[in-house]
Structure 1
Amino acid sequence: MANGSNNRRAGKIYLKVDGVQRDAKGKFSYNLGIGKREAIVGADGIHGYKETPQVPFVEGAITDSVDLDLAAFLSADNVTVTLELANGKTVVFANAWSASEGKVECEEGEVPVRFESRKQGIEQK
């Protein structure tokens, strides 16, 4: 379409940490950190809701490579993480830190990763 509409909703993704693209395996998820709302229920009915903060995060798995300094990657702090989605959105986490456990699955060189941040943004192409 003339307005740039795209029928693709999912598929290829690209993960970059401080501008360096990593080998994303998939199964990525993210949370924008929007407040979580929970109902306040009293004996006489619903009183309203409370809202508590959530941690903005992006998590998934990458493939290990010879040029990846795994110890430095897993201890990263104050980095910018971007997740580019097939639907045209780019999710950006500024001043992020690694919250990964450090586990590596050797059979396929899979490294589960999680980055958390205080700030996030979403851009749409």
Structure 2
Amino acid sequence: MSQITGKATVKVDGEELLTDVDATLNVGGVSREAVMGPRGVQGHRETPEAPTLTTTVRHTENTDLLALGRITGATVLFETDTGDGYMLRRAFVTDTVELSSGNGGVRLNWSGYGVERI
């Protein structure tokens, strides 16, 4: 039987982040929606979508929230426990950085100029 992905690591410019196991990668590409007419679907419309990554970074005494929020132009590696990996090119943090004291986590939302399988 094949192993099923259960966790992933995230590295930013070669440095592994201390992350939760719930990282989510959307490889981007094209999303499609139905175009409706009076008698039903007439076709579809395509919209380009940028790749995105969402992860939670653990907050410690060494975590610099301001530095995390300023990340742009980074190489971000998303590597799964099954050996599959993806590289987000010229990645940047998309939202302001927010620390949750309840779980000690910093939710980071990323996007980039492209994604490649490595």
TM over 0.5: yes
Instruction: Determine if contact 1:13/1:83 at 8 Å carries over to the other structure.
Output: yes
1:1-125 mapped onto 2 (5 Å cutoff): 7-123=2-118
- What secondary structure, in the 3-state scheme, does the structure 2 residue paired with 1:73 have? helix
Query: Which runs of 5 or more residues in structure 1 are unaligned?
Result: 1-5
- What secondary structure, in the 3-state scheme, does the structure 2 residue paired with 1:27 have? coil
1:84 is aligned with what amino acid?
A: E
Query: Which TM-score applies when normalising by structure 1?
Result: 0.85
Instruction: Determine if contact 1:14/1:21 at 8 Å carries over to the other structure.
Output: yes
- Runs of 4+ with deviation above 6 angstroms: none
Query: Which TM-score applies when normalising by structure 2?
Result: 0.90
Aligned length: 118
Query: Which runs of 5 or more residues in structure 2 are unaligned?
Result: none
Taking every aligned residue pair, what percent have the same amino acid on both sides? 24
CA distance 1:48–1:64, change in 2 (3 Å):
same
- What secondary structure, in the 3-state scheme, does the structure 2 residue paired with 1:71 have? helix
